């Protein structure tokens, strides 16, 4: 039951907050500098923080056009799992692959459109649960990530995702609701396996800290000192699914802060400068947007991907389209509630090109 002791729960919408600090510093990897727990002497110490309630402030939204893909489908959706690992990864940036505008892309394959493989998509209300793993005491960092997800379904960017549908022509619609935000302070140390990612979700569910919902995406978000199996080597983030004892299939995504481990591979374009002068977190939100796309239009890795096995966000990976310069000279392409973001485009299955929305 060590888990309950170490878990910090932020039901950010309405509830008060319980914090238990942990000094669980074992398993740290010494090859790179790591951030020490800021309160190593605090054990089982409860603090109260004031958390702003979730408010959905207006953002600049232009047209909302509804599209129906030109597909004729008749039978019921069927779930088939693709690949041995069943991970939909966001690959690292490849400096050898540049788009015409000079921006960096990894997989941007305009030669082929994306194909539908009869699997299910996430349509209708989609809940988002954030599990901050590690040191997430910086509220500005949480704010960058949460503001995007609190407003994403009203952005032009989201319209491209709404062009994807399932076998019975049911499109992805949203709404997207960030309903739970909690913090886990190193219950599995600072070096995680992929199984640990699932364990972290399971533990929150088993203790009724998070609800078990098939229409949700569980994000495990690790701080920059936390290492993960394959992170910064095979991927910047990934999405996948697992089965609960109740047989419910849950969709989850892991994204790490790459600032100290591979900023050049996972940053949002430039590894030295980013819209909020936080290369790690600004990079994370781009990867999280990538994984949001693919969790929704390919949740079981059986729906939308191309002949090379690339999911829709892979086809526009690190491709940001038209960008502007922030005051610090960083590129950005989106403003949500006064926060600047540089978020990759998504593949538009109708026009067969990367699309930022309009
Ligand atoms: Zn991907």
238/245 Cα distance (integer angstroms)? 23
Going from the Cα of 300 to the center of ligand 1, the distance in angstroms, rounded, reads 13
Higher pLDDT, 37 or 293: 293
* pLDDT above 50 (res 257): yes
* pLDDT above 80 (res 84): no
The string of pLDDT tens digits covering residues 123-174 is 999 999 999 999 999 999 999 999 999 999 999 999 999 999 999 999 999 9
- Give the residues across from 239 on adjacent strands: 88, 253
What per-residue confidence (pLDDT) applies to 94?
62
The string of pLDDT tens digits covering residues 317-348 is 999 999 999 999 999 999 999 999 999 999 99
pTM for this one? 0.75
Of the pLDDT bands very low, low, confident and very high (cuts 50, 70, 90), residue 275 is very high
User: Mean pLDDT, to the nearest integer, of 218-237?
Assistant: 97
Going from the Cα of 268 to the center of ligand 1, the distance in angstroms, rounded, reads 15
Report residues near ion ligand 1: CB below 5 Å: 90, 294, 311, 313-314
214/8 Cα distance (integer angstroms)? 24
Going from the Cα of 46 to the center of ligand 1, the distance in angstroms, rounded, reads 39
What per-residue confidence (pLDDT) applies to 7?
42
Please report the beta strands in 95-215, taking only residues with DSSP state E, as ranges in sequence order.
115-116, 126-133, 176-184, 191-192
Going from the Cα of 49 to the center of ligand 1, the distance in angstroms, rounded, reads 36
What per-residue confidence (pLDDT) applies to 97?
53
- Of 265, 260, 302, the C-alpha closest to 280 is 260
Going from the Cα of 48 to the center of ligand 1, the distance in angstroms, rounded, reads 38
Of the pLDDT bands very low, low, confident and very high (cuts 50, 70, 90), residue 77 is very low
What per-residue confidence (pLDDT) applies to 37?
33
Q: Cα 102 from chain centroid?
A: 25
The DSSP code for 171 is B
The string of pLDDT tens digits covering residues 282-303 is 999 999 999 999 999 999 999 9
Q: What is the mean pLDDT of the chain?
A: 78
What per-residue confidence (pLDDT) applies to 142?
98
Going from the Cα of 313 to the center of ligand 1, the distance in angstroms, rounded, reads 5
Give whole-number Cα distances, 56 to 147, 150, 159, in Å.
Answer: 9, 6, 18
Helices and strands counted in the chain (H then E): 6, 18
% the chain with pLDDT above 70: 71
What per-residue confidence (pLDDT) applies to 358?
84
* pLDDT above 60 (res 70): no
60/159 Cα distance (integer angstroms)? 14
Least confident among 35-49, 136-150, 185-199, 259-273: 35-49
What per-residue confidence (pLDDT) applies to 296?
98
First vs last Cα of the chain: how many Å apart?
A: 49
What per-residue confidence (pLDDT) applies to 109?
54
Going from the Cα of 344 to the center of ligand 1, the distance in angstroms, rounded, reads 11
Q: What angle do CA 275, 276, 280 make, to 5 degrees?
A: 95
What per-residue confidence (pLDDT) applies to 224?
98
Going from the Cα of 24 to the center of ligand 1, the distance in angstroms, rounded, reads 32
User: Mean pLDDT, to the nearest integer, of 229-254?
Assistant: 96
Higher pLDDT, 58 or 301: 301
Going from the Cα of 100 to the center of ligand 1, the distance in angstroms, rounded, reads 21
What per-residue confidence (pLDDT) applies to 1?
39
* pLDDT above 50 (res 2): no
Of the pLDDT bands very low, low, confident and very high (cuts 50, 70, 90), residue 104 is very low
Going from the Cα of 311 to the center of ligand 1, the distance in angstroms, rounded, reads 6
* pLDDT above 90 (res 8): no
Crossing angle of helices 279-297 and 259-266, rounded to 10°? 60
Going from the Cα of 358 to the center of ligand 1, the distance in angstroms, rounded, reads 23
The string of pLDDT tens digits covering residues 199-210 is 999 999 999 999
Listed ranges 47-51, 180-184, 267-271; the one with the highest mean pLDDT: 180-184
- Of 328, 330, 354, 353, the C-alpha closest to 342 is 330
């Amino acid at each position: 039951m060590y888990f309950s002791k170490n878990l910090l729960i932020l039901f950010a919408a309405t509830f008060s907050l319980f914090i238990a600090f942990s000094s669980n510093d074992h398993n740290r990897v010494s090859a790179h500098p790591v951030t020490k727990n800021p309160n190593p002497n605090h054990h089982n110490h409860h603090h109260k923080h004031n958390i702003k309630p979730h408010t959905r402030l207006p953002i600049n939204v232009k047209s909302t056009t509804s599209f129906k893909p030109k597909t004729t489908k008749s039978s019921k959706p069927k779930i088939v799992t693709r690949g041995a690992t069943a991970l939909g990864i966001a690959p690292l940036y490849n400096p050898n692959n540049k788009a015409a505008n000079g921006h960096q892309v990894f997989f941007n394959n305009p030669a082929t459109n994306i194909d539908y493989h009869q699997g299910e998509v996430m349509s209708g209300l989609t809940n988002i649960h954030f599990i901050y793993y590690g040191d997430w005491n910086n509220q500005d960092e949480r704010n960058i990530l949460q503001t995007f997800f609190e407003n994403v379904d009203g952005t032009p960017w989201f319209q491209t995702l709404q062009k994807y549908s399932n076998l019975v022509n049911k499109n992805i619609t949203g709404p997207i609701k960030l309903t739970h935000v909690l913090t886990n302070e190193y219950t599995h140390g600072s070096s995680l396996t992929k199984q640990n990612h699932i364990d972290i979700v399971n533990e929150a569910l088993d203790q009724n800290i998070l609800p078990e919902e098939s229409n949700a995406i569980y994000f495990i978000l690790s701080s920059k000192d936390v290492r993960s199996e394959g992170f910064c080597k095979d991927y910047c983030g990934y999405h996948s699914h697992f089965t609960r004892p109740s047989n419910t299939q849950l969709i989850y995504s892991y994204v790490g802060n790459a600032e100290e481990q591979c900023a050049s591979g996972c940053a949002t374009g430039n590894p030295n400068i980013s819209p909020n002068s936080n290369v790690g977190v600004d990079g994370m939100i781009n990867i999280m947007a990538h994984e949001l796309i693919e969790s929704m239009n390919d949740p079981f890795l059986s729906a939308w991907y191309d002949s090379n096995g690339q999911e829709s966000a892979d086809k526009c990976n690190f491709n940001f389209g038209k960008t502007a310069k922030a005051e610090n000279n960083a590129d950005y392409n989106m403003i949500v509630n006064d926060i600047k973001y540089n978020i990759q485009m998504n593949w538009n299955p109708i026009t067969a090109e990367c699309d930022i929305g309009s």
